[in-house]
């Protein structure tokens, strides 16, 4: 990590990371090494600015009135689905394989 990026991340207030029960269950079934890698990637969400999130992560295509959901690549095969409720937290709703997401969502928005 570059010094400039480290300063920006340390200067920004941390968001409260909330893992849905499905995420906690999925983490328990991963190999320990992958579990640590996925957990460390999820912690990145605590320091991201929700205002600029659409620039950094793909948005899931959704109905007009639905909450904005985004994807984070947490391993070569797994993606985290997350959103910001606007109360100083970030909610990780689920972990899914890239293949499953491709089948269930018609397209991903950039």
- The structure tokens listed for 90 are 């970030």
Note the pLDDT tens digit of each residue in 16-70. 999 999 999 999 999 999 999 999 999 988 887 777 777 788 887 666 677 888 9
- The structure tokens listed for 70 are 């985004």
The structural domains of the chain, ordered by start, are 14-109 (3.30.2310.20)
- How many CB atoms are located within 10 Å of the residue 41 CB? 15
Mean of pLDDT values over 66-84: 89
pTM of the model: 0.76
pLDDT at 11: 59
Mean of pLDDT values over 102-108: 62
CB-based contacts of 62: which residues, under 8 Å, 6+ apart?
68, 69
């Amino acid at each position: 990590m570059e010094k400039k990026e480290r300063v920006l991340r340390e200067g920004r207030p941390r968001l409260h990371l909330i893992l849905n029960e499905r995420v906690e269950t999925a983490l328990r079934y991963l190999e320990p090494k992958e579990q640590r890698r996925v957990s460390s990637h999820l912690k990145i969400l605590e320091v991201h600015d929700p205002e600029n999130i659409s620039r950094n992560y793909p948005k899931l295509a959704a109905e007009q009135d639905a909450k904005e959901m985004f994807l984070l690549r947490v391993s070569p095969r797994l993606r985290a689905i997350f959103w910001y409720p606007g109360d100083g937290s970030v909610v990780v709703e689920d972990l899914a394989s890239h293949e499953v997401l491709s089948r269930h969502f018609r397209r991903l928005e950039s």
